[in-house]
Structure 1
Amino acid sequence: MPSTPRRLVRRAVWLAPLLALAGCSALDGAASRLSTIGGLVTPYRMDILQGNVVVREQVQALQPGMTREQVQAILGTPLVASVFHANRWDYVFTFQRQGQAPQRRVVSVFFQGDRLERVQADELPTEEEFVSSLDVRRKAAQPPVLEATEEQLKAFEAKAPAPRTASPVPAAAEPAASPAPAAAPSYPPLEPR
């Protein structure tokens, strides 16, 4: 019998790390599941805007034969100006917003010597389109109509039962004088005395 407790201890020594290892693999996606609290509440993730915003109007303003200084005045400082590709400037723009697909646009400007040769660009938005894409406020819905039409009122009256009234009191039983005013309501004090 003395070997049985030793076997139990030996098994426990082997079983504990295996259970811990299995628990670690089960917790692999737990952080992402807990961060959304069942998908109801998500943590705030700030917008990440990197690079140069280049819009369609800026690219249309470029003309072959412009100098590097003129191109830089229109587009700004290039994000990538490689030593190995001295005749090429790259303007890369990335924008990440929570709940939306990341945006990435690349504009490459090629020079022949010191003069602009050609421009290669992704599909670019106009300045107005880009600014409107930044607006994250919810669009106001059409406000509800607060007045009922005559047809709606008639339909409501047809559906609603007529209110019950008390049985009419005979004219002889009515008092000649108007009833006494009701007593003012009595409220408890706000603070104890």
Structure 2
Amino acid sequence: MSLILSWACRAGLAVTLGSLAACSSLQSTEDNFLGVITPYRVEVVQGNVVTREMAAAIRPGMSRTQVRDILGSPLLTDIFHADRWDYLFTIRRQGAQPQRRRVTAWFDGEQLTRLEADDLPSEKEFVDSIDTFKRSRKVPQLALTEEQLKALPAPAPRPAEETPPPAPLRSYPPLEPSGG
């Protein structure tokens, strides 16, 4: 009897291990289950996005308030390094490469002395780098060509504006009694 149970336990263990091995081989390297189901991953964004255009607007001699207005509040300020603001930015988005950038603003009192930054992308480059849909987008045309302007119908003439009748004259009692 114990020999049969021992053999059944071994067979059950072999089937279980074989099933687990088969399941792991069905998963692809992209963390898809059976190539169809992709688990949700939380998008993690930390810090301020600082683009090339924003950094170009910063000039030495600006006040801390002016720098904050353009770049936003710094992610790191340190009481031991009061002359330094650190802007760190990280993003992990499913389907896009993780990104990390650092911008450091150096101050002398209330005035900016210099701005040190990693290679910053333009706004368009940043948006393209996090766009996970990668479909072609048709950009709408915002201005008419000369031919399209000529094809437009002429505007209808405006009717002559009538002058409104004058407001009736009203007599109101004085706000304060007249002293006499």
- TM-score, normalised relative to structure 1: 0.52
Q: Specify the code of the residue in structure 1 equivalent to 2:73.
A: T
Equivalent position of 2:96 in the other structure? 100
What CA distance in whole angstroms lies between the structure 2 residues aligned with 1:109 and 1:100?
Answer: 28
User: Are the counterparts in 1 of residues 104 and 116 from structure 2 also a CA contact under 8 Å?
Assistant: yes
Query: How far is the alpha carbon of 1:48 from its aligned partner?
Result: 1.8
Which has a greater percent of helix?
1
Query: How far is the alpha carbon of 1:49 from its aligned partner?
Result: 1.5
1:127 aligns with 2:123: yes
Query: How far is the alpha carbon of 1:132 from its aligned partner?
Result: 2.8
What CA distance in whole angstroms lies between the structure 1 residues aligned with 2:136 and 2:105?
Answer: 41
Equivalent position of 2:161 in the other structure? none
User: 5+ residue gaps in structure 2?
Assistant: 7-12, 138-180
- Taking a change above 3 Å as real, the CA distance of residues 100 and 140 of structure 1, as seen in their structure-2 partners, is closer
Query: How far is the alpha carbon of 1:59 from its aligned partner?
Result: 0.7
Query: How far is the alpha carbon of 1:51 from its aligned partner?
Result: 0.8
1:1-193 superposed matches below 5 A:
36-140=32-136
What CA distance in whole angstroms lies between the structure 1 residues aligned with 2:95 and 2:42?
Answer: 11
User: 5+ residue gaps in structure 1?
Assistant: 6-11, 13-18, 142-193
Identical amino acids, percent of aligned pairs:
48
User: Are the counterparts in 1 of residues 96 and 129 from structure 2 also a CA contact under 8 Å?
Assistant: no
- TM-score, normalised relative to structure 2: 0.56
Number of residue pairs matched by the alignment: 120
- Taking a change above 3 Å as real, the CA distance of residues 63 and 54 of structure 1, as seen in their structure-2 partners, is same
The structure having more radius of gyration, on CA atoms, is 1
Superposition CA RMSD, Å: 3.1
Which has a greater percent of strand?
2
User: Are the counterparts in 1 of residues 75 and 88 from structure 2 also a CA contact under 8 Å?
Assistant: yes
Q: Deviations over 1:64-107 (max 9, x none)?
A: 11111111111111110111111000111111011333100110
What CA distance in whole angstroms lies between the structure 1 residues aligned with 2:60 and 2:111?
Answer: 7
* SS at structure 2 position matched to 1:86: strand
